[in-house]
Structure 1
Amino acid sequence: MTATATPPLNTAPDDEAYWLAIRDTMQPMYVNTQLVNTRRGAAPRTVRDRVRELVDLSLAYELDAYEPMRELKESGSSLAIRGLLAGYFGADPDEVALTRNAMEGIATVLNGVALEPGDEVLATRFCYDSNLAIIRQRAQRDGIVLTFVDLPFGIASDEAIVAAFAHAITGRTRLVSLPHVVANTGLVMPVREIAALARSRGAFTLVDGAHSAGHIAFRLDDLGCDAYATCLHKWMYGPRGTGFLYVRRERIGDVWPLFASWSGKPAHSIEKFEEVGTVFKALPASIPEAIAFNRGIGQAEKSARLRYLRNRWAVRLRAHERIRMLTDIDADPGTGFGGFIIDGMESEVFARILREEFDINVRAFAMEEDPTMRGIHLSPGLSNTVEEVDRFVEATFAILARSHNAFMRAG
């Protein structure tokens, strides 16, 4: 197969003057050097200003038939907003429903796909704990079975991952749930191959896209999954309380909505998923500003910058004898996430010293389903600078040098 040439970037990932200007539009309000951006991104001023502009209107005119935002449905959605999201992520507007967060979309699918007692849901231990809680509730309520695919922790090839899914899928598997990007390590799952495999076995595929939307470049119509749920406040830098659910047109009728449609939307309508009651319209009404911010930079440019920031620390750290990387920084596509383990030092101890002595925040983690899967996670965002990343590297080396004698004695 001939590789497709990658178009040149409009902005280089190391053009610091440009990226400092982007940081200035975001104005992060961190209390320390924040190198973990997986929970939220700093929304740019244009988004924050738009929300503030609409707050009074949303509170004063929410139920007025002549309200200034009457083009938005009660749920805050509109065909124009759905069209913007569909255009950015490579889908049709009639396959995209506006939600209030990733979990709403995930819960809709996990509760809405018809399952019988004994049917199997195949998931990974890297799935978000709330996702697994939903499956476990259905297991208790409906008698379905939760099974985990056995995946390696850390670096893994696409071939090994697909082989593990192929081995785990059985004749009783009806639904496959997986993250697009594993948050703690930045592993990008081969969704296209897994979705094709699941479809060949008659299983529905749900992808948690909380850490891929706005982070890596992809098209939903290329992924081939049956459903994809995400939020817009992480790597799309939109307001908290916004997200979307994509369901492939052919499978919309196979998923019950979380709330019954009171307007009689047919089973094949994506809009049946949007009838959730009244929402605060100032939030979804600012989605166009978030899309404009991302388009102004370019997704390829964003992704390249995030990878550049990760490589700036990860390349230096992986050369250290006490560092074991959990992230393949040479993988393509890569992410801005990285994880590692320090030989001879607990992750929590390292993170505490880094925060208390150097005023730098990273995340010490243990996987919910298997606490032996532990490490340290970083995810610099567009609002971080190379100086902040470099200061983290120097602080890490200082901590390692200081603990060297204790490590040698333990060895």
Structure 2
Amino acid sequence: MLLKNDVATAVTVLKKAPDDETYWSSVRALMKPMYTHTQLVNTRRGAAPAQVRDRVRSLVDLSLSYELDVHEPFRELKESGSSPRIRKLLADYFGAGDDEIALNRNAMEGIATVLNGLTLKAGDEVIATKYCYDSNLAILRQRAEREGIVVKLADIPFGRASDDEVVAAFSRLISDRTRLITFPHVVARSGQVLPAAKIAALARSKGIFTFVDGAHSAGHICLSLDELGCDAFAACLHKWMFGPRGTGFLYVRRERIADVWPLWASWSNKPASSIEKFEEVGSVFKALPAAIPDAIDFNRGIGQEEKSARLRYMRERWVVPLSAHERVRILTDIEAKPGTGFGAFTVEGMENAAFTKALFDEFKIHVLAFEVEEDRSLKGIHVSPSLSNSIEEVDRFVEASFTILDRG
């Protein structure tokens, strides 16, 4: 079921084709997933490979037994867990300068830093979307309540939309009071990739700060932060980078670092222009950030292009046959480039929750029935295989779905 475009890519660029099951089975073996059922919802967290888990385990006792002194076994790590080496590894992987990358404990920490730290005053406007994570919107609404800022939501079509449609949705809301535009790079439920570079270019032309929630794009699709052109970008490392839970990063373009206040005042008096001011969060469990280099090694060993192609292939493996069924409506545009491994669909004549319950109860396969928080009319069934899944699991999902669909 390899698409023509992917075949061409595999022949001319990719080290390993997305349908090379011998190779991808060996990758899955390195991940050693411990699922108790077939897990086809991997947007919350990915299975860290064995080498990352082993590294964390090997450092647990050290992390819990040493004081911060000359005998500290993690002398190269700051109290926050960061280090020049870790920042450089992340910067190189995601196409940024190491003076633009701060280590955080998760995407939410970086998101909260930017959404709380950008100076806004009463009447200033922020443009977001109804697909933003609920906690992101909660921060903005708290600022609206406390400070009198105005939050607008761009009306982006659900699941399928051209880049021009998306950019126009933001453009329509811009006024001379707009100070910030924020949006998810990848819409979590549908897998829609928003045209971040085009939105950032629009904002920059009007002097507006752009902030991208990269929780579902970092490690999932190929990206270069330099090329995206956004002012800030936050992501976690435990989803599609398969890193330790409790690790993430914040990117702020060096020219805009001074424009964002840190969540915690810099106790070491880092200058306003220093990316390290965002890392002074107190003590952390150092066994987690110490394993980030192992996660980077694992990803580099596979290759981001190869990862992305494999995830798209796994999505198409189930989307294509299900889309042929008369009761299924696919919400995801699988022709859109770049694509993700996410997909969503609805079933005619059956509640989403009833379908997912039957799938789990009868076949022990987990997919997710969802409703968009900001608009409950936008709903569907979400599927997101990862590298820890086998193609046999995806095919079994298709077979089980047809069994449920065909019995009426």
Q: TM-score range by the shorter chain?
A: over 0.9
Is the contact made by 2:10 and 2:17 (CA closer than 8 Å) also made in structure 1? no
Hey, what's the Cα distance between the residues in 2 that align with 1:89 and 1:287?
14
Name 2:356's counterpart in structure 1.
351
Is the contact made by 2:10 and 2:18 (CA closer than 8 Å) also made in structure 1? no
Which stretch of the first structure deviates more once superposed, 23-32 or 88-97? Answer: 23-32
Q: 2:281 aligns with which of 258, 272, 276?
A: 276
Hey, what's the Cα distance between the residues in 1 that align with 2:11 and 2:251?
27
Name 2:220's counterpart in structure 1.
215
Name 1:195's counterpart in structure 2.
200
Residues 225-236 of structure 1: matches in 2 within 5 Å? 225-236=230-241
1:103 aligns with 2:108: yes
Q: 1:157 aligns with which of 162, 170, 184?
A: 162
Hey, what's the Cα distance between the residues in 1 that align with 2:326 and 2:174?
39
Is the contact made by 2:80 and 2:280 (CA closer than 8 Å) also made in structure 1? yes
Is the contact made by 2:129 and 2:183 (CA closer than 8 Å) also made in structure 1? yes
Name 2:72's counterpart in structure 1.
67
- The TM-score, its normalising length taken from structure 1, stands at 0.96
- Alpha-carbon distance, 1:178 to partner: 0.2
Hey, what's the Cα distance between the residues in 2 that align with 1:73 and 1:139?
35
Hey, what's the Cα distance between the residues in 2 that align with 1:184 and 1:397?
22
Output the amino acid matched with 1:229: A
Name 1:82's counterpart in structure 2.
87
Q: 1:397 aligns with which of 380, 383, 402?
A: 402
> CA 1:6 to 1:83, structure 2 compared with 1: closer, same or farther past 3 Å?
farther
Q: 2:245 aligns with which of 217, 240, 245?
A: 240
Hey, what's the Cα distance between the residues in 1 that align with 2:50 and 2:405?
39
Aligned identity (percent) is 70
1:122 partner SS: strand
- Alpha-carbon distance, 1:25 to partner: 0.7
Hey, what's the Cα distance between the residues in 1 that align with 2:212 and 2:35?
31
Name 1:133's counterpart in structure 2.
138
> CA 1:65 to 1:140, structure 2 compared with 1: closer, same or farther past 3 Å?
farther
Hey, what's the Cα distance between the residues in 1 that align with 2:129 and 2:329?
23
1:167 aligns with 2:176: no
- Alpha-carbon distance, 1:70 to partner: 0.8
Residues 221-370 of structure 1: matches in 2 within 5 Å? 221-370=226-375
Name 1:407's counterpart in structure 2.
none
Output the amino acid matched with 1:248: R
- Alpha-carbon distance, 1:7 to partner: 5.2
1:181 aligns with 2:181: no
- Alpha-carbon distance, 1:64 to partner: 2.7
Hey, what's the Cα distance between the residues in 1 that align with 2:103 and 2:284?
11
Uncovered stretches (5+) of structure 1, i.e. residues with no partner: 404-411
Moved over 6 A (4+): none
Name 1:20's counterpart in structure 2.
25
Name 1:45's counterpart in structure 2.
50
How big is each residue's C-alpha offset from its partner over 1:140-194, in whole Å with a ceiling of 9 and x where there is no partner?
Answer: 1111111100111111111111111111212111111100000100000000000
Output the amino acid matched with 1:135: L
RMSD value, Cα: 1.2
Hey, what's the Cα distance between the residues in 2 that align with 1:363 and 1:172?
39
1:373 partner SS: strand
- Alpha-carbon distance, 1:30 to partner: 1.0
- Alpha-carbon distance, 1:6 to partner: 9.8
- Alpha-carbon distance, 1:65 to partner: 3.0
How big is each residue's C-alpha offset from its partner over 1:312-342, in whole Å with a ceiling of 9 and x where there is no partner?
Answer: 0001111111111110111111000000111
Uncovered stretches (5+) of structure 2, i.e. residues with no partner: 1-8
Output the amino acid matched with 2:130: R
- Alpha-carbon distance, 1:344 to partner: 1.0
Output the amino acid matched with 2:164: E
